[in-house]
Amino acid sequence: MAQYYLEEGVDINNIDNINTMSQLGKLNSADFIKGAVVAILVVVLGMFEQSLTAHGLDVGSYDWGSILNATVLAFVAYLGKNISTDSNGAMLGVADKA
């Protein structure tokens, strides 16, 4: 079986590496993979939402501009969230004191 590596220390053949969180102000390859998954989910949900409206199953009449815009925004928002949280998930490295 072939072994694939995204960057040094990240083995995509070992799913445990996908669950690691990046440090504050940094993004790792797992963040981009997870962001792509979120973006794909937004496309699927956008298509589902469009099918529930008057468009039905006529894929050609979907508002693809809005769906793709939401997809890009979801991807960028996910990366923004990950770059602004530390490896413990605290926003800007500040833990909730409550």
Residue range 8-56, pLDDT digits in tens = 555 555 555 555 677 777 788 888 888 899 999 998 988 888 888 867 7
Confidence band of 1 (pLDDT split at 50, 70, 90): very low
**Residue 73: helix, strand or coil by DSSP?**
helix
CA–CA dist 47, 57 (Å, integer): 9
Residue range 74-88, pLDDT digits in tens = 999 888 888 888 777
Q: Give the domain ranges of the chain.
A: 21-98
